């Protein structure tokens, strides 16, 4: 079965050729390089929070915002209680937020909720001039200096800034640890080197800031895909805008603990990716070739590398099964090629997940034993993306809220070690 061997070689060659530049990212991060900023002014901000049945956790987020060391007079908090059936609105109001309630069963998703909230602010608070808008999810928690650190980057002339994303419940199980390592890698091994090199970072779901002038330039918030954060990022990159990174602004969010819920959430990510590539993929590729925009290339490579890994894994798993069940084939070469490819994929993914755990060791709220144990499970977490991809391709995937139950304050985070 020389064909399988050659296919594996070709796939490995494509991935190596596409991702070799990320060795530079790795070296830059291991040396601890990153841009440093000082605040040039104190900007005024509006905080945007879209919440659906989040009464269990939203109070802790709002308390962590009120506890910021940034001037309270310069931060206003707005919450949209989106299609809620609980008392999220009342809890948010009791913690000092300006709350709007939205009921719309047709336009469902965070993108629509953010657009609704921004329109309400423009209509009812037109006398207030905001420099920028923060976007958080209701399950988030902020370190006390989060806004101060983000303001340093923003006031230095960066119209979009994303921060450092950590997990509230990293140590719950191998799934939450997988998410935690995944987002830590994105923050420190992708966004941090990108920012240092002067290319664009990527917005990832929550914990980002954009300027009011940019929003006006964009014609409002018009990102309604299942993954509105990715759509926002791709549109910015195609326009030549850059997303900056603030590694000192630390945010925690809660990760799903159940495998089924995790697969469904990531199926939404995959479906959203497909939507965005169908809508904006052509613009991304054209911009990459016409302007030489490296950020476009980086986005394309990071979007396709996982798919190549998945194709290789599935192909070799199939050939492995064929090899051990077919009496007419010379099974030795088939099994050797398949096992070699699977083992290589495991080792590569293991070190991909291990490095951010090691470099961010002290910042991860989890026991040392669980950090080590769950590092070995990271390849299986990444392999489970294949189930999400299959689900995304098999049928309709809708936006569904993730139930959050980890109701801890920022002061209680250290107790989770």
41 pLDDT more than 70: yes
352 pLDDT more than 70: yes
329 pLDDT more than 60: no
User: What value does the mean pLDDT take over residues 240-254?
Assistant: 97
pLDDT digits (tens, 9 = 90+) for 152-195: 999 999 999 999 999 999 999 999 999 999 999 999 999 999 99
User: What value does the mean pLDDT take over residues 378-388?
Assistant: 88
- Most confident stretch, 15-19, 311-315, 410-414: 410-414
1 pLDDT more than 70: no
Structure-token pair, residue 356: 């951010």
359 pLDDT more than 80: yes
What is the average pLDDT score of the chain? 89
220 pLDDT more than 70: yes
Tell me, what's the pLDDT at 87? 96
pLDDT digits (tens, 9 = 90+) for 267-316: 998 888 888 888 888 888 888 888 888 999 898 888 766 666 666 666 66
User: What value does the mean pLDDT take over residues 378-395?
Assistant: 86
pLDDT digits (tens, 9 = 90+) for 45-83: 999 999 999 999 999 999 999 999 999 999 999 999 999
320 against 91, higher pLDDT: 91
Tell me, what's the pLDDT at 399? 75
Tell me, what's the pLDDT at 345? 79
pLDDT digits (tens, 9 = 90+) for 98-127: 999 999 999 999 999 999 999 999 999 999
Tell me, what's the pLDDT at 245? 98
Tell me, what's the pLDDT at 122? 96
Tell me, what's the pLDDT at 312? 66
What proportion of the chain, given as a percentage, has pLDDT over 70?
87
């Amino acid at each position: 079965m020389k064909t399988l061997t050659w296919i594996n070689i070709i796939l490995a060659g494509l991935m190596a050729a596409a991702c070799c530049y990320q060795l530079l990212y790795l070296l830059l991060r291991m040396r601890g390089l990153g841009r440093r900023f000082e605040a040039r002014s104190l900007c005024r901000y509006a905080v945007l929070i879209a919440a659906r049945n989040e009464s269990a956790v939203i109070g802790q987020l709002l308390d962590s915002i009120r506890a910021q060391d940034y001037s309270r007079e310069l931060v206003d908090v707005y919450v949209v209680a989106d299609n809620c059936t609980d008392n999220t609105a009342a809890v948010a109001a009791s913690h000092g937020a300006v709350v709007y309630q939205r009921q719309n069963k047709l336009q469902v998703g965070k993108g629509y909720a953010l657009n609704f909230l921004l329109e309400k602010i423009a209509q009812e608070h037109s006398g207030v001039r905001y420099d920028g808008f923060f976007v958080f999810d209701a399950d988030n928690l902020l370190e006390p200096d989060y806004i101060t650190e983000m303001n340093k980057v923003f006031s230095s002339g960066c119209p979009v800034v994303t921060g450092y994303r950590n997990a509230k419940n990293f140590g719950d199980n191998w799934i939450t640890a997988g998410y935690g390592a995944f987002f830590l890698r994105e923050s420190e091994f992708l966004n941090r080197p990108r920012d240092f090199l002067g290319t664009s970072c990527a917005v990832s779901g929550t914990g980002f800031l954009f300027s009011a002038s940019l929003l006006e330039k964009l014609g409002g918030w018009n990102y309604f895909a299942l993954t509105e954060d990715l759509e926002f990022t791709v549109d910015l990159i195609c326009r030549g805008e850059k997303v900056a990174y603030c590694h000192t602004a630390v945010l925690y969010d809660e990760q799903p603990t159940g495998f089924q819920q995790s697969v469904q959430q990531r199926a939404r990510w995959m479906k959203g990716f497909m939507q965005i590539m169908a809508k904006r993929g052509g613009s991304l590729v054209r911009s990459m070739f016409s302007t030489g925009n490296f950020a476009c290339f980086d986005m394309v490579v990071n979007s396709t590398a996982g798919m190549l890994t998945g194709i290789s894994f599935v192909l070799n798993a199939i050939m492995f099964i064929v090899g051990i069940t077919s009496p007419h084939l010379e099974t030795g070469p088939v099994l050797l090629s398949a096992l070699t490819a699977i083992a290589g994929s495991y080792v590569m993914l293991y070190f991909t997940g291990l490095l951010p755990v090691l470099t961010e060791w002290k910042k991860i709220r989890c026991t040392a034993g669980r950090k080590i144990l769950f590092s070995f499970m990271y390849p299986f977490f990444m392999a489970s993306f294949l189930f999400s991809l299959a689900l995304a391709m098999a049928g309709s995937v809708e936006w569904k809220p993730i139930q959050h139950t980890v109701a801890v304050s920022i002061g209680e985070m250290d107790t989770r070690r």
